[in-house]
């Protein structure tokens, strides 16, 4: 008699939720629609939303016993995630965001890879998409090396050990061994958690077969606030951990510094306070911003299939916004620390 195949391990999905009425139903549906043979539950860390999200989530939980709610009045992602993990029933933890949608075989593929590799934390690719012209431009920037600097989970096709894991399919014992997420952080909690996991000798793994649809911010002000907050917290992590960060994180702040120096030199030259050879020498600082402006012009002139000039113009603005917001936030974070800075892009319209 052929022995029965072992039952796949149970999975607990954990999702922090706040002001996501436009996306939450699709996110929940993508979780509940997973083609996976093991037990599953969805634990939502629900903040006090003001856009009807809470009511939507509570109705879904009342109709489906697989959905449970823990309260997250602080509205911080690491606190909410830790509460959801502590309330979870299973040892495989799958982080999901309310702005994301999982492909139907995401969990089955992830659990198989987790068992095959022995990894403690596993992630796949973020595939950003957009509905409006602006959101499509942001999605294109997320998927581009220009936008987020080429992190592996934004497009790498190579499976193997990784610096971090996007969202993350994780083993609960490993998480508990390093103290779960750092609740002092407001951003960059995934990178910091995986940094500690790697430091404790655990394996972090990238599997590009795992793909997650991500819906980015859909207005300029939301994008700028999000990236400034992310930059601030990345600067805070540099204060904590020193130079143990990829060089790509230092490019946007370097651009901001050079741009400010260029402006100062231009003012000195315009007022005649600097002239002659000194003016020529100091004027070399203008080469950096000039090269960047030429890059933005190239984005305007480079045609892609189906794109209009307006599409390319919005994309150039999005790229500049990402770099300037992230870079200025990073400099503040390095200089004075995060000091409780929060991402208000979901709080304010």
pLDDT at 340 over 80: no
Which residues, in sequence order, are CB contacts of 135 under 8 Å at separation 6+? Answer: 215, 216, 217, 218
Q: Is residue 227 part of a domain?
A: no
Q: Is residue 2 part of a domain?
A: no
Whole-number mean pLDDT of the chain? 90
Give the closest residue to 22 by CA, choosing from 221, 211, 215.
215
What confidence tens digit (pLDDT) does each residue in 19-53 have? 998 899 999 999 999 999 999 999 999 999 888 99
Report residue 284 as tokens: 């070399």
| 3-state class (DSSP) for residue 264 | helix
User: Could you tell me if 258 and 210 lie in one domain?
Assistant: no
Question: Which structural domain range is residue 285 located in?
Answer: 240-336
User: Could you tell me if 23 and 118 lie in one domain?
Assistant: yes
**What backbone torsions phi and psi does residue 104 show, to the nearest 5 degrees?**
-55, -35
Average pLDDT over residues 287-305: 90
Q: Is residue 139 part of a domain?
A: yes
Q: What is the pLDDT of residue 338?
A: 83
User: Could you tell me if 210 and 318 lie in one domain?
Assistant: no
Q: What is the pLDDT of residue 61?
A: 94
Min mean pLDDT across 142-156, 191-205, 255-269, 319-333 is at 142-156
What confidence tens digit (pLDDT) does each residue in 107-131 have? 999 999 999 999 999 999 988 999 9
Contact predicate 115/134, CB 8 Å: no
Q: Between the CA of residue 34 and those of 31, 73, 118, 226, 317, what are the distances in Å?
A: 6, 29, 22, 30, 37
Q: What is the pLDDT of residue 289?
A: 93
Q: Is residue 137 part of a domain?
A: yes
Q: What total number of domains does the chain contain?
A: 2
Q: What is the pLDDT of residue 72?
A: 93
Which residues, in sequence order, are CB contacts of 125 under 8 Å at separation 6+? Answer: 153, 154, 155, 156, 166, 208, 210, 211, 212
Q: Is residue 341 part of a domain?
A: no
- Dump the DSSP string for 298-343: HHHH---TT--HHHHHHHHHHHHHHHHHHHHHHHHHHHH--TT---
Share of the chain above pLDDT 70, in %: 93
User: Could you tell me if 181 and 255 lie in one domain?
Assistant: no
What confidence tens digit (pLDDT) does each residue in 126-150 have? 889 999 999 999 999 988 888 765 5
pLDDT band with cut points at 50, 70 and 90 for residue 341: confident
In angstroms, the CA 63 to CA 48 distance is 21
Average pLDDT over residues 2-8: 68
User: Could you tell me if 168 and 63 lie in one domain?
Assistant: yes
Helix axes 220-241, 309-336, angle to 10 degrees: 30
Q: Is residue 225 part of a domain?
A: no
For the domain that residue 87 is a member of, what is the CATH number? 3.90.550.10
SS3 content of the chain, % helix, strand, coil (to 5): 50, 15, 35
**259, 262, 267, 270 alpha-carbon torsion, rounded to 10°:** -130
User: Could you tell me if 177 and 60 lie in one domain?
Assistant: yes
Dihedral of alpha carbons 283, 287, 292, 295, sign: positive
Q: What is the pLDDT of residue 305?
A: 75
Q: What is the pLDDT of residue 2?
A: 53
Q: What is the pLDDT of residue 3?
A: 56
């Amino acid at each position: 008699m052929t022995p029965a195949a072992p039952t796949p391990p149970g999975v607990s999905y954990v999702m922090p939720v706040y002001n996501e009425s436009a996306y939450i139903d699709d996110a929940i549906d993508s979780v509940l629609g997973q083609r996976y043979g093991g037990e599953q539950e969805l634990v939502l860390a629900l903040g006090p939303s003001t856009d009807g999200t809470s009511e939507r989530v509570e109705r879904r939980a009342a109709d489906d016993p697989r959905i449970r709610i823990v309260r997250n009045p602080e509205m911080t992602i690491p606190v909410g995630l830790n509460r959801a993990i502590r309330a979870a029933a299973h040892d495989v933890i799958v982080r999901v965001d309310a702005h994301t949608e999982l492909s139907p075989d995401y969990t089955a593929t992830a659990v198989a890879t987790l068992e095959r590799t022995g990894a403690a934390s596993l992630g796949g690719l973020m595939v950003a998409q957009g509905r409006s012209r602006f959101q499509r431009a942001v999605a294109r920037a997320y998927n581009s090396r220009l936008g987020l600097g080429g992190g592996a989970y934004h497009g790498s096709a190579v499976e193997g050990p990784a610096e971090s894991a996007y969202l993350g399919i994780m083993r609960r014992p490993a998480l508990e061994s390093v103290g779960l997420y750092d609740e002092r952080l407001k951003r960059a909690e995934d990178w910091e958690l995986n940094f500690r996991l790697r430091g404790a000798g655990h394996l972090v793994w990238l599997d590009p077969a795992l793909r997650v649809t991500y819906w980015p911010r859909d207005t300029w002000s939301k994008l700028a606030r999000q990236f400034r907050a992310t930059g601030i917290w990345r600067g805070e992590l540099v204060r904590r951990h020193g130079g143990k960060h990829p060089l790509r994180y230092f490019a946007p702040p370097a651009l901001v510094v050079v741009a400010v120096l260029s402006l100062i030199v231009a003012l000195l030259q315009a007022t005649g306070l600097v002239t002659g050879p000194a003016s020529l020498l100091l004027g070399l600082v203008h080469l950096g911003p000039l090269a960047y402006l030429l890059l933005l012009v190239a984005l305007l002139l480079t045609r892609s299939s189906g794109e209009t000039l307006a599409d390319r113009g919005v994309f150039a603005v999005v790229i500049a916004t990402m770099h300037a917001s992230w870079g200025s936030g990073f400099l503040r974070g390095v200089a004075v620390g995060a000091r409780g800075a929060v991402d208000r892009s979901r709080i304010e319209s």
